[in-house]
């Protein structure tokens, strides 16, 4: 066992981890620019021997911890990532440190991710003399649909001409409030889906609602398209390579007695393979245009590309499984039987760097985790006593990789 005392060390930092998490939670920020959050992180880690990298596209930063054994052969650079942005929703938790900014909430746990990563920086800094190589701590904004990881890659903060090669491995955690306390989970291969957005504009010819025969009503066509898209998914795509197409908005008209000229459908596409990702787009266009033509109207489909599939390297998952067993015992690890159809922009990082993301259960210890609110709920609660598990897991992945690589 390489790191049997990591959890004990992480628990000694619990007060600092929780304090930072609560400070971030109370002042949530959105999108690519999270200066208050970044300032809190910098202040919390100001006493550590870190070198900081800043880019121009976001307020995200990378802190570098250089090992104290430069002459010893190690396994290069390992990256640990935590995201920082919140969601545009009102908090309903009643916590004493609840959001002080109206209409914003850390309902996806990014406040905990950042605090656990800062804890890992503290823990690893105390072991700096043992490290042969470098640890990069990626504090990233803009995960909630803003492609923050891609921007930080494009800025060269993870490596490139300015900072040398990209890391040799990358790891991240995501909390799950409706998963058992302290349990870690993951799987090799596709872990989370690609997420694309679609807009379908159905165009007809409006008129008086009492004389629909004199119009080309786009509304019945739009309604027919909604149902046909569900049939398309079940009849054209193998259920073993999951596809989800969900219509979330249907907008048309301005009054009860007017047939509109246009009806608009919006929604999301989730896929687990590049082949299905491309095929869904083509099939949606065929379905929408065909149904529109049958109704004497026209349909235009626009797909906006989102995050790619999050694909975990088998070696990185095996490393994480070994760290979990060392630090917490064999019972702490769960192998996920199937991917989760949510999306994650850490996918951009592990497209370029072999790595993995793991899930950490943060339901209240001893309670039925199945009854807990999930992420993106305005009532989501985190059992903060589980956060040292995340700090220990992140630190353990870095230590093990620098010691052994993927061996």
CATH number, domain at 377?
Answer: 3.40.630.10
Q: Which tokens in the block code for residue 219?
A: 């509304």
Assigned domain for 357 exists: yes
At residue 308, the pLDDT reads 95
CB 222 within 8 A of CB 252: yes
Domain termination site, one of 245, 278, 304: 304
Assigned domain for 222 exists: yes
Nearest by Cα to 75 from 374, 407, 404, 322: 404
Provide the pLDDT confidence category of residue 3 given band limits of 50, 70 and 90: low
Q: What share of the chain is helix, strand, coil (3-state, %, to 5)?
A: 35, 25, 40
At residue 75, the pLDDT reads 66
At residue 74, the pLDDT reads 57
To the nearest whole number, what is the mean pLDDT of the chain?
94
Q: How far is CA 10 from CA 126, 322, 327, 387, in A?
A: 11, 18, 11, 9
Does 202 lie in the same domain as 152? no
The CATH number assigned to the domain holding 251 equals 3.30.70.360
Domain termination site, one of 276, 304, 332: 304
Q: What is the pLDDT of residues 197-231, one digit of tens each?
A: 999 999 999 999 999 999 999 999 999 999 999 99
Calpha distance 14→115 (Å, rounded): 10
Provide the pLDDT confidence category of residue 366 given band limits of 50, 70 and 90: confident
CB 71 within 8 A of CB 341: no
Does 101 lie in the same domain as 221? no
- List all residues 6 or more positions away from 178 whose beta carbon is below 8 Å from its beta carbon: 363, 369, 370, 372, 373, 374
Q: Residue 63's domain spans which residues?
A: 6-192+310-404
- List all residues 6 or more positions away from 102 whose beta carbon is below 8 Å from its beta carbon: 90
Does 94 lie in the same domain as 21? yes
Q: Which helix (H) or strand (E) holds 123?
A: helix 110-125
Domain termination site, one of 281, 304, 327: 304
Assigned domain for 15 exists: yes
Nearest by Cα to 344 from 175, 145, 203, 165: 145
Does 188 lie in the same domain as 82? yes
Q: Which tokens in the block code for residue 229?
A: 């898209």
Assigned domain for 77 exists: yes
Does 174 lie in the same domain as 46? yes
For the chain, how big is the Rg over CA atoms in Å? 24
Assigned domain for 95 exists: yes
Assigned domain for 387 exists: yes
Q: Is 329 left (phi over 0), alpha (psi -120 to 50) or beta?
A: left
Calpha distance 196→245 (Å, rounded): 10
Assigned domain for 60 exists: yes
Per-residue pLDDT, averaged over 266-274, amounts to 95
Calpha distance 61→44 (Å, rounded): 14
Assigned domain for 1 exists: no
- How big is the chain, counted in residues? 407
- List all residues 6 or more positions away from 128 whose beta carbon is below 8 Å from its beta carbon: 49, 65, 66, 67, 68
Does 61 lie in the same domain as 14? yes
pTM of the model: 0.93
Q: Which helix (H) or strand (E) holds 43?
A: helix 35-44
Does 217 lie in the same domain as 149? no
Does 231 lie in the same domain as 164? no
Provide the pLDDT confidence category of residue 161 given band limits of 50, 70 and 90: confident
Does 209 lie in the same domain as 186? no
Does 222 lie in the same domain as 340? no
Does 150 lie in the same domain as 85? yes
Q: Directed axis angle between helix 387-404 and helix 14-26, to 10°?
A: 110
At residue 68, the pLDDT reads 77
Calpha distance 147→271 (Å, rounded): 18
What DSSP line would sit under 50-77, residue for residue? -EEEE-SSSS-EEEEEE-S-TTS----E
Q: Which tokens in the block code for residue 88?
A: 């545009």
Provide the pLDDT confidence category of residue 4 given band limits of 50, 70 and 90: low
How many domains does the chain divide into?
2
CB 184 within 8 A of CB 393: yes
Does 361 lie in the same domain as 232? no
At residue 96, the pLDDT reads 96
pLDDT for 70 beyond 80: no
CB atoms within 10 A of CB 181: 17
Provide the pLDDT confidence category of residue 374 given band limits of 50, 70 and 90: confident
């Amino acid at each position: 066992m390489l790191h049997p005392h990591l959890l004990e060390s992480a628990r000694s930092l619990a007060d600092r981890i929780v304090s930072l998490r609560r400070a971030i939670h109370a002042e949530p920020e959105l999108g690519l620019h999270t200066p208050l959050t970044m300032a809190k992180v910098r202040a919390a880690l100001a006493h550590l021997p870190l070198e900081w990298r800043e880019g121009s596209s976001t307020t995200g930063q990378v802190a570098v911890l250089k090992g104290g054994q430069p002459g010893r052969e190690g396994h290069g650079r390992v990256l640990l990532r935590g995201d920082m942005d919140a969601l545009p929703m009102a908090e309903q938790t009643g916590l004493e440190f609840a959001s002080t900014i109206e209409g914003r909430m850390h309902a996806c746990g990014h406040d905990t991710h950042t605090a656990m990563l800062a804890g890992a920086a503290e823990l690893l800094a105390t072991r700096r003399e043992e490290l042969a190589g470098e640890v990069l701590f990626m504090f990233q904004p803009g995960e909630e649909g803003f492609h923050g990881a891609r921007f930080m890659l494009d800025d060269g903060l993870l490596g490139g001409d300015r900072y040398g090669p990209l890391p040799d491995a990358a790891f991240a955690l995501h909390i799950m409030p409706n998963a058992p306390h302290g349990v870690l989970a993951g799987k090799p291969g596709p872990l989370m889906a690609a997420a694309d957005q679609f807009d379908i504009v159905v165009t007809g010819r409006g008129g008086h609602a009492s004389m629909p025969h004199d119009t080309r009503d786009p509304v019945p066509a739009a309604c027919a398209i909604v149902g046909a898209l569900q049939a398309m998914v079940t009849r054209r795509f193998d259920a073993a390579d999951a596809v989800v197409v969900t219509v979330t908005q249907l907008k048309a008209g301005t009054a009860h007695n007017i047939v509109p000229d246009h009806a608009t459908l919006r929604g999301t596409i989730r896929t687990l393979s590049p082949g299905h990702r491309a095929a869904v787009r083509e099939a949606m266009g065929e379905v929408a245009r065909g149904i529109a033509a049958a109704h004497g109207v026209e349909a235009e489909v626009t797909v906006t590309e989102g995050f790619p599939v999050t694909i975990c390297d088998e070696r990185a998952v095996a490393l994480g499984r070994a760290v979990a067993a060392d630090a917490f015992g064999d019972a702490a690890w769960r192998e996920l039987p199937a991917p989760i159809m949510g999306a994650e922009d850490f996918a951009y990082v592990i497209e370029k760097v072999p790595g993995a993301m793991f899930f950490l259960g943060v339901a209240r210890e001893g309670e039925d985790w199945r009854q807990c609110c999930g992420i993106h709920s305005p009532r989501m609660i985190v059992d903060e006593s589980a956060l040292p598990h995340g700090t220990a897991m992140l630190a353990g992945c870095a230590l093990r990789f620098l010691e052994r690589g993927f061996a």
